[in-house]
Amino acid sequence: MVVDRIPSGTRDVLPDEMRELRAMTDRIRAVFDRAGYGEVYTPALEYERTFASDRAGRGWLATPPAYRVFDEQGNVLVLRSDMTIPIARLVANRYQHSELPLRFSYLAHAYRSVRPQRGQSREFLQAGVELIGSPSPEGTAEVLGVLCAALDSAGLQSYRVGLGDAALYPSLLEQLGIGEEIRERILRELVDGDFVGVEREVAALSLAGDDAELLLRVPQTRGGPEVLEGLAGPLHDAGSGMRTVHAMLAREVAARIIFDLGLVRSLGYYTGAVFQVYDPAHGLPIGSGGRYDELLGLFGRPLPAVGFALNVERLHIALTGEERGRPRAQT
Amino acid sequence: MSDLRIAVPRGALFDETLTLLSRLDIDVAEVRTNDRKLLFEDAGLVTMRPSDVPTYVESGVADIGITGKDVLMEQSEREVYELIDLGYGRCRMVLATAAGEDRAAETLRRLGVVRIATKYPRVAARHFEQTGRQAEIVEVRGSVELAPITGLAEGIVDLTATGTTLRENGLVVREEIAECTARLIANPVSHKLKAAAIDALLERLK
């Protein structure tokens, strides 16, 4: 029999799964709604220039759009690779004079390229919020609260939220007087999770012993509030920033936080606090977010902003894993 | 010693890995003696081919694992943390061709493309791309040395420790691509959620 296949990395959802997904997303949607985050939908197709990588500041758009088509006039359109950029565009276009802050939520698909035979999704459903016009620390604390409320409503129990600062390690490198080219190299090793590579790059710099030790220790520093104690010099500001956010969180939210000085996100538009959701029932983060205080400016409306996106499919896998009480499940 | 599950490579790195683990007070006696069993629940160990270690660690079924840098280079897209260089299992990733006049160089000059047999197609392809040469990569599963002897390929990219197998098959090293040792890798989520256990282990390894 000839089977009409579907592209790798895409899939059909049948009623049993759909019912579970729908129940979960309905609860998450209700949380967003109660918190005042109005749901928006933007087109899956955008002009290519909206996603141009120079918008991402350092030009590190980790997940650039993978799919391009031409329209009737020969313009290049892309399938969106995330929802943050379309919402930044939407705010700049349609909310030029609105009172701040603005709160938006979405449950929408994004599209990314996949590596062959890795079981990755080309099309995946994200549930997230964006809070625009609310600076740190208030905005960050609010969004972390919404994030945990959404996960709680979905029924996830053992999750933790890693909280770091995207500017921490880059500014540490800068303050130690390390040149830009080597800075980028070290950051790339860190984004790749190659600590042996970081060690090799740092060793080649012939820094003073203390400085070298600091550069190796900081990316591996994660844990409770005790890791923020005694952060001096270049790390002091980031440390007190995280402490301030933490102090503003409700107790049950604060209890979920793991401070992570090594959390560097590969999305170039993050500027301050960054976070990632972990659950013992899944080997990969099930959601992430952070502050992007410069992105809106690139669309002509400079505003501080913060948001997160949950990967609905991974959340579902983690939930199922927790229910079964067995240790782990693959993506 | 902790609730970590560790992926242990069978094969060339096996013995030294067990020595290392027993130094960490992990009971490896049963692993040493029973080569059919794969999962040792009490010791928190699971044994497998070195090239499967990143797969198990990335998925999170193993929290940490030990494998060669050669495997990590070949599977560079795996989302795992490479924590430390364990220093043992040292060998070199090399480009080798038949002794005498370099057939690969001659083929490149006259035909523009050289055929390279390897178990590491991505490492080989990357090496030739980075050095601005065109290569047709022929993936083989074992006894790579056979390829240049029989004429399947002009050269091979492979791992060598002492060079004995290469020599016995009349091959010589033309280029060194990388030096490889055993690495300790970790699942990124375990690295956060089981930070204390992983750090305690790292501390003892230093």
- What's the CA gap between B158 and A43, in Å, rounded? 49
Q: Do B171 and B128 fall into the same domain?
A: yes
Q: In the predicted model, is pLDDT for residue A326 greater than 60?
A: no
Quote the minimal CA–CA distance from B193 to chain A in Å.
7
Q: Do A195 and B83 touch, CB atoms closer than 8 A?
A: yes
Q: Quote the CA–CA distance of B204 and B23 in Å, as a whole number.
A: 9
A278 has a chain B CB within 8 A of its CB: yes
Note whether B10 and B20 are same-domain residues: yes
Q: For B110-131, give one letter per residue: b (16+ CB within 10 A) or e.
A: eeeebbbbbbbbebbbbbbeee
Interface test with B, best of A117, A191, A195, A315 (most B CBs within 10 A): A195
Q: Which residue of A has its CA nearest to B77?
A: A115
Task: Report CA-CA distances (Å) from A314 to A124, B37, B74, B92.
Answer: 10, 32, 27, 39
| A329 pLDDT above the threshold of 50 | no
Order across the sheet with B171-180: list the strands.
B135-139, B114-118, B155-160, B91-98, B171-180
Scan for tokens 């992007």, then name that residue.
Answer: A292
- 3-state DSSP call for residue B174? strand
* Contact status of A196 with chain B (Cβ, < 8 Å): yes
Is residue B155 located within the same domain as residue B97?
A: yes
**CA–CA distance, B121 with B135 (Å, rounded to integer):** 11
Q: A-chain residues within 8 Å CB-CB of B81?
A: 193-195
Condensed to tens digits (0 to 9), the pLDDT of residues A161-212 reads 999 998 889 888 988 889 889 998 998 899 889 999 999 999 998 888 888 9
Q: Please, what is the Cα angle at A273 between A272 and A276, to 5 degrees? A: 135
Of the candidates A135, A131, A137, the residue with the CA atom closest to the CA atom of residue A237: A137
Q: Determine contact: A322 vs chain B, CB below 8 A.
A: no
pLDDT digits (tens, 9 = 90+) for A140-158: 999 999 999 999 999 999 9
Token match 């002897």: residue? B149
What's the confidence (pLDDT) of residue A331? 43
pLDDT for residue A238? 84
For A287, nearest residue in chain B (alpha carbons): B189
Q: Give residue for tokens 């390829």.
A: B147
B84·A115 Cβ contact <8 A: no
User: What CATH number did the domain enclosing B49 receive?
Assistant: 3.40.190.10
Say how many residues make up chain A: 331
Closest partner CB to B58 (pick from A279, A283, A285): A283
Q: Across chain A, what does the average pLDDT equal?
A: 90
Q: B176 near B94, Cβ under 8 Å?
A: yes
Residue A244 has pLDDT above 60, yes or no: yes
Interface of B with A in 80-119 (CB under 8 A): 80-85
Locate the chain B residue with the closest alpha carbon to A216: B83
B145 and B166 both lie in a single domain = yes
With CB atoms and an 8 Å threshold, state whether B84 touches A258. Answer: no
Residue A119 pLDDT > 70, yes or no?
no
Clarify whether residues B61 and B127 are in a common domain.
no
Least confident of A27-31, B34-38, B167-171: B34-38
Q: Is B146 helix (H, G, I), strand (E, B) or coil?
A: helix
Task: DSSP for B37-74, please give it.
Answer: --EETTTTEEEE-GGGHHHHHHHTSSSEEEEEHHHHHH
Does any domain span residue B1? no
What is the least distance, in Å, from the CA of B57 to any CA of chain A?
8
Percent of chain A with pLDDT over 90: 63
Contact B159, B180 (CB under 8 A): yes
Q: Show residues of chain B in contact with A283, CB under 8 Å.
A: 58-61, 187, 189-190
Which three-class secondary structure state does DSSP give residue A284?
A: coil
Return the minimum-mean-pLDDT range out of A36-45, A115-124, B2-11, B55-64: A115-124
Q: Which amino acid is at A237?
A: D
Q: Structure tokens of A291? A: 């502050």
Sequence-distant (6+) residues with CB within 8 A of A51 are A61, A64, A65, A78, A80, A81, A85
The percent of residues above 90 in pLDDT, for chain B, comes to 86
pLDDT surpassing 70 at residue A327:
no
Convert the pLDDT of each residue in B108-167 to its tens digit. 889 999 999 999 999 999 999 999 999 999 999 989 999 999 999 999 999 999 999 999
Q: Which of A139-143, B4-8, B29-33 has the least mean pLDDT? A: B29-33
Q: How far is B155 from chain A (nearest CA, A)?
A: 27
At B97 the three-state DSSP class reads strand
Whether A15 and chain B come into contact, CB under 8 Å, resolves to no
User: Of B85, B52, B60, which is closest to residue B202 (Cα–Cα)?
Assistant: B85
Phi, psi of A298 (to 5 degrees): -70, -20
Distance CA A82, CA B30 (A): 49
Query: What is the C-alpha separation between A202 and A182, in angstroms, rounded?
Result: 9
Indicate yes or no: CB of A220 within 8 angstroms of CB of B189. Answer: no
With bands split at pLDDT 50, 70 and 90, how would you rate the model's confidence at A230? confident
Q: Report the C-alpha gap between A119 and A24 in whole angstroms.
A: 23
Q: Are the C-beta atoms of residues A167 and A272 closer than 8 Å to each other?
A: yes
Element (H, E) at B91: strand B91-98
SS3 A240: helix
User: Quick one: average pLDDT of A219-231?
Assistant: 88
Please choose, from the candidates A67, A49, A51, the residue with its C-alpha nearest in 3D space to the C-alpha of residue A113: A67
Q: Minimal Cα–Cα distance from B106 to chain A, Å?
A: 34
- Is residue A38 pLDDT above 60, yes or no? yes
* Residue A330 predicted with pLDDT over 50: no
Residues spanned by the domain of B154: 91-180
> Which residue spans of chain A are classified as CATH 3.30.930.10?
17-166+221-324
pLDDT band, very low/low/confident/very high, at B99 (cuts 50, 70, 90)? very high
Average pLDDT for residues B179-202, to the nearest whole number? 95
Determine contact: A324 vs chain B, CB below 8 A: no
Residue B174 touches partner A, C-beta closer than 8 Å: no
Class of domain A17-166+221-324: alpha beta
The model's confidence at residue A61, banded by pLDDT at 50, 70 and 90, is low
Among B97, B149, B100, B181, smallest CA distance to A196 is for: B181
Between B176 and A327, the higher pLDDT residue: B176
| Closest chain A residue to the Cα of B182, Cα to Cα | A196
- Inform me whether the pLDDT recorded for A265 exceeds 70: no
Instruction: State how many domains chain B has.
Output: 2
**In Å, how far is B142's CA from the nearest CA of chain A?**
22
Q: Are A298 and A55 in contact (CB under 8 A)?
A: yes
